[in-house]
Amino acid sequence: MAFPHRPDAPELPDFSMLKRLARDQLIYLLEQQHEVDKLYKVENKPALSSSEQLCFLVRPRIKNMRYIASLVNADKVAGRTRKYKVIFSPQKFYACEMVLEEEGIYGDVSCDEWAFSLLPLDVDLLSMELPEFFRDYFLEGDQRWINTVAQALHLLSTLYGPFPNCYGIGRCAKMAYELWRKLEEEEDGETKGRRPEIGHIFLLDRDVDFVTALCSQVVYEGLVDDTFRIKCGSVDFGPEVTSSDKSLKVLLNAEDKVFHEIRNEHFSNVFGFLSQKARNLQAQYDRRRGMDIKQMKNFVSQELKGLKQEHRLLSLHIGACESIMKKKTKQDFQELIKTEHALLEGFNIRESTSYIEEHIDRQVSPIESLRLMCLLSITENGLIPKDYRSLKTQYLQSYGPEHLLTFSNLRRAGLLTEQGPGDTLTAVESKVSKLVTDKAAGKITDAFSSLAKRSNFRAISKKLNLVCGTGMVRGVGGFIPLWSTFLGGNVLERRSWQGLDEVVRLLNCGDFAFTDMTKEDKASSESLRLILVVFLGGCTFSEISALRFLGREKGKREFIFLTTAVTNSARLMEAMSEVKA
């Protein structure tokens, strides 16, 4: 069903079960207990409801608690008494209760939990819809969501059987994995004896590979996300796309046949594909000429509806393409892609730097400028001090002084850093090349301790052949996502990180790369062809699409994805930005 053109693909697990579970639970919480009659969005304004009880369905955030507290206290001042119920999703945090207590309304509200952590966005994509995971963990060092991830994994393993092979890279991945294991041990026996449906699971930290996420996306789905922002698997196409005066909300998933065929395509191919499709469609419409009555009846009753539907979708996507094109040409997309590619390949650094500077000076877009700066920093192992200072100064002058805090955030997250004296690029590269040739790598670990916290992008890229010219359209602007190389077979076939030792070390993940196999091989060959990839901190549509391609290319493999949220470069940058409240 997922990929009709691939008869050899293993069957995907049925995620609709998750939806049913969550729905039933919510219905129970809302109707059985509270008789909800009207829904409001939680916003920072007073709720104008006259009903006797208010029920809040919220994420466990302190901000939300204060909002609720203000409402309740306002009611108190006005002398109203109502019942209040707070339903936390996916779980309740003690800190939230603390806030309720400090605000003096703990006794007035009752709390409940809606353990809804996995939203199936598509047949192969589950999202936890926790965009705050990225900032909370990778910037603030707050580990509260890791438990949530572990619980989600636990839920998956109770529904779809245990995972016989586990791999992970990154500190967070390791923690999540360990917590998950603990959960499994505590509830021993439930998953035991079940046949695994999914053979492998990979846990990946976002900070292991920022580069891919920071690059412009070039596959259709990624571009739609970058341009229109896909929210929970659906997108609002504005009037410029629908070519009418109304906006239209469109669900983007495998059900949309047109979208399904172009989502993973490089943007330059999409137009050609769409026009071909249009011609086919026309041809099908044309068939009705020369039909007799019976055939016509058949056509109208059976095919016409599908064709019309397809027609509608087709015109939508063509509209979207046009809109993307318009925006991209306005921003000089070619120039941008060229710069990105230069950064990835490491040539014309000066030119790229001045491109970025111009970008800032012209106030093109604060988020884009920031993204380019980060990309430069990561690929170059930090900016040289002069550039670091001047770019930042320019940025502050252009976009406002409060971004001083943004810079401090980016520095903490390792996204925008300054080269220390001594570790200029050449120095690193010489050390790395030595390492790569030297088999007794252990001896040189000392040399690398000085480089801790550096991303060493260039060395990894060289080692893994990540940059592969324009011929490779599968990646992100001529760059293969790091994950693809990990998942491309090396680790899966050897069932360990062996052979990637140096890379892992260069990623500063030496202690956090792990594998765990169960000895007994109960897993069927069918399940071993299914690989669940868990992104901690979010993943982009380009990465998903690259892995989908990989699964197809390697044949008979299917990747399914679980991410804390679908992200893109803009979302990452926004998460790091400090804007005036």
Partner 1 sequence: MDCYTANWNPLGDSAFYRKYELYSMDWDLKEELRDCLVAAAPYGGPIALLRNPWRKEKAASVRPVLDIYSASGMPLASLLWKSGPVVSLGWSAEEELLCVQEDGAVLVYGLHGDFRRHFSMGNEVLQNRVLDARIFHTEFGSGVAILTGAHRFTLSANVGDLKLRRMPEVPGLQSAPSCWTALCQDRVAHILLAVGPDLYLLDHAACSTVTPPGLAPGVSSFLQMAVSFTYRHLALFTDTGYIWMGTASLKEKLCEFNCNIRAAPKQMVWCSRPRSKERAVVVAWERRLMVVGDAPESIQFVLDEDSYLVPELDGVRIFSRSTHEFLHEVPAASEEIFKIASMAPGALLLEAQKEYEKESQKADEYLREIQELGQLTQAVQQCIEAAGHEHQPDMQKSLLRAASFGKCFLDRFPPDSFVRMCQDLRVLNAVRDYHIGIPLTYSQYKQLTIQVLLDRLVLRRLYPLAIQICEYLRLPEVQGVSRILAHWACYKVQQKDVSDEDVARAINQKLGDTPGVSYSDIAARAYGCGRTELAIKLLEYEPRSGEQVPLLLKMKRSKLALSKAIESGDTDLVFTVLLHLKNELNRGDFFMTLRNQPMALSLYRQFCKHQELETLKDLYNQDDNHQELGSFHIRASYAAEERIEGRVAALQTAADAFYKAKNEFAAKATEDQMRLLRLQRRLEDELGGQFLDLSLHDTVTTLILGGHNKRAEQLARDFRIPDKRLWWLKLTALADLEDWEELEKFSKSKKSPIGYLPFVEICIKQHNKYEAKKYASRVGPEQKVKALLLVGDVAQAADVAIEHRNEAELSLVLSHCTGATDGATADKIQRARAQAQKK
Cα dihedral value 20, 26, 31, 33, nearest 10: 130
Establish if 52 lies at the interface with partner 1 (CB under 8 A). Answer: no
Nearer to partner 1 by C-beta: 140 or 190?
140
| Per-residue contact string for residues 128-167; x = within reach of partner 1 by CB under 8 A | --------x---xxxxx-xx--x-----------------
CB of 488 to partner 1, least distance (A): 31
Establish if 386 lies at the interface with partner 1 (CB under 8 A). Answer: no
Q: Are 546 and 481 a contacting pair, CB within 8 Å?
A: yes
The secondary element (H helix, E strand) that includes residue 236 is: strand 234-237
CB of 226 to partner 1, least distance (A): 23
Candidate list 182, 287, 305, 434; residue touching partner 1; CB under 8 A: 182
CB of 110 to partner 1, least distance (A): 18
Count Cα neighbours of 362 within 13 Å in the Cβ-side half-sphere: 10
Q: Are 202 and 173 a contacting pair, CB within 8 Å?
A: no
How deeply is 146 buried, as exposed, middle or buried, from its count of CB atoms within 10 A (0-12, 13-18, 19+)? Answer: buried
CB of 565 to partner 1, least distance (A): 19
> CA 368, 371, 372 angle in degrees (round to 5)?
90
Establish if 397 lies at the interface with partner 1 (CB under 8 A). Answer: yes
CB of 151 to partner 1, least distance (A): 11
Interface segment toward partner 1; rule CB under 8 A; list 219-227, 239-247, 395-403, 518-526? 395-403
| Cα first-last separation, the chain | 47
Establish if 393 lies at the interface with partner 1 (CB under 8 A). Answer: yes
| Phi and psi at residue 110, to the nearest 5° | -115, 150
Bridge-based pairing state of the strands 513-517 and 248-251: unpaired
Candidate list 21, 42, 73, 93; residue touching partner 1; CB under 8 A: 93
Token pair, residue 157, equals 């393993």
Count Cα neighbours of 279 within 13 Å in the Cβ-side half-sphere: 5
Establish if 63 lies at the interface with partner 1 (CB under 8 A). Answer: yes
Candidate list 25, 253, 348, 398; residue touching partner 1; CB under 8 A: 398
Q: Are 119 and 126 a contacting pair, CB within 8 Å?
A: yes
How many Å apart are CA 116 and CA 68, to the nearest integer? Answer: 21
Token pair, residue 350, equals 């000066």
Among residue numbers 335 through 374, which ones bind partner 1 (CB under 8 A)? 357-358, 361-363
CB of 316 to partner 1, least distance (A): 29
Residues in the interface with partner 1 (CB under 8 A) total 47
| Per-residue contact string for residues 299-338; x = within reach of partner 1 by CB under 8 A | ----------------------------------------
Strand 53-58: give its sheet, edge to edge.
Answer: 53-58, 83-88, 109-113
What are the residues binding partner 1 (CB under 8 A)? 62-63, 66, 93-95, 98-99, 102, 136, 140-144, 146-147, 150, 175, 178-179, 182, 185-186, 188, 357-358, 361-363, 389, 392-394, 396-402, 404-405, 408, 578, 580-581
